[in-house]
Amino acid sequence: MTYLIIKIFFVAFFINLLYELLHSLLYKTCLEAPLKKYIYLILKGATFDGFSIAVIYFISYYIFPHYLQIFVFLLISLVFAYLWETYAIKNKRWEYSKKMPLIFNIGVTPFLQLALTGFLAIYFAFNF
C-alpha cells in the first residue's frame, strides 16, 4: 500500500505540474510574478496537490468499501478544493485574473482540479 500511495503522489505531482502551468494564466498572481517566483508557485502548487490527492486517496481507501472509494474520493476532493480555494482567496494567497470563470464564487479550474487530476493519477497509478 505504501508503494501505491507514493506512486499516486508522483503521478499526481506531474499531472498537476502540467495542470498548474496551463491554468496559471487565469491567476493575476502568476501573470505578475517574476520568473523565479512563478516557478516556485507552480512547483509548490503541484507538490501540494500531489500530497493532497495521495492523502485523500488514502482516506477513501481505508475508510470506505471498494465500491464507494472513487465516489468518496471525488466528493472529498471537491469539498476540499472548495474550502481551500475559498480560504486562499479570502486571505489573499492568490488572485484571479479577469479570465477565470467562476462557480460558487471560486475559480472553476481550481475547483475541479483535484477531482480531475486525482482521478487520472489513480487510474495511471493502477494501470501503468
Model pLDDT, residue 77: 98
Judge whether 53 and 117 are in contact, CB under 8 Å. yes
Q: How many domains is the chain built from?
A: 1
Task: Give me Rg for the CA atoms of the chain.
Answer: 15
Nearest-angstrom CA–CA distance, 21 and 124: 20
Say which amino acid occupies 102. L
Model pLDDT, residue 12: 98
Q: How far is CA 55 from CA 84, 89, 102, 128, in A?
A: 15, 23, 27, 20
Domain span including residue 15: 2-127
Nearest-angstrom CA–CA distance, 18 and 62: 29
Q: pLDDT tens-digit profile of 56-85? A: 999 999 899 888 999 999 999 999 999 999
Average pLDDT, the chain: 95
Model pLDDT, residue 1: 84
Dihedral-angle region of residue 105 (phi above 0 means left; psi in -120 to 50 means alpha; beta otherwise): left
Q: Where are the alpha helices (DSSP H) in 1-128?
A: 2-23, 28-31, 35-63, 69-90, 108-127
In the chain, which residues have pLDDT < 50? Answer: none
Of the chain, the end-to-end C-alpha distance in Å amounts to 16
Model pLDDT, residue 68: 93
Cross-strand bridge partners of residue 107: 102
